[in-house]
Chains A and B, each alone.
Chain A
């Protein structure tokens, strides 16, 4: 079956610390992968998407970066977190049919 794993579920990090969120998918190959962020009171916003290994497109300029070292692995990183990076981060992948599967999300609080 097709599943997506995202961790950790919650994270509290101090300002200036690094970040690494990981997302892996199972049951498919060469998926399109996405990182979204939901800030308080706002809708989900696309941060990065990837159509293949090493291929990353960025939608929003910020101090975050993404990498896709393997076909089914998508990583969201930051070298130094800002207070404004707090939010809910969601990984997703899309099917050729157009359907989407979402991870369980990571709630990040930068203090």
Chain B
């Protein structure tokens, strides 16, 4: 079993829909990251969370430390949101990140 599990693996949505991507992890962490990977491969860091909730534009990320679960929400989705969204955690005793396999999001106009 992977230490970081994401669901769904693939997601297709219509423009304007509210989107949720989930991430569960099995290790103790110091921080959780949500990343966005575009078709060319480059990765952009969206959020780093250790508790609670963060919002940036139409993106919202939440984390529940007790349940070892995080969600990434996209409100009013747009075709330009189409990308792979990756959840990654930093363990308490590690410097590197442990990555989920990613969720491929496709938003149709």
Residues of chain A touching chain B, judged by Cβ–Cβ distance below 8 Å, are 32, 34, 36, 41-46, 49, 51, 59, 88, 90, 92, 94, 98-102, 104-105, 107
A-B contact count (CB 8 A): 54
CB pair A42 B101 closer than 8 Å: yes
CB pair A88 B41 closer than 8 Å: yes
The secondary structure that dominates the A interface is strand
Count, chain B residues at interface, CB 8 A: 24
7 new A-B contacts at CB < 8 Å, known A98-B31, A99-B48: A45-B99, A59-B96, A90-B43, A99-B45, A101-B45, A104-B41, A105-B40
CB proximity of A104 to chain B, nearest CB, Å = 4
Query: B3-62: which residues lie under 8 A (CB-CB) from chain A?
Result: 4, 30-31, 33, 35, 40-45, 48, 50
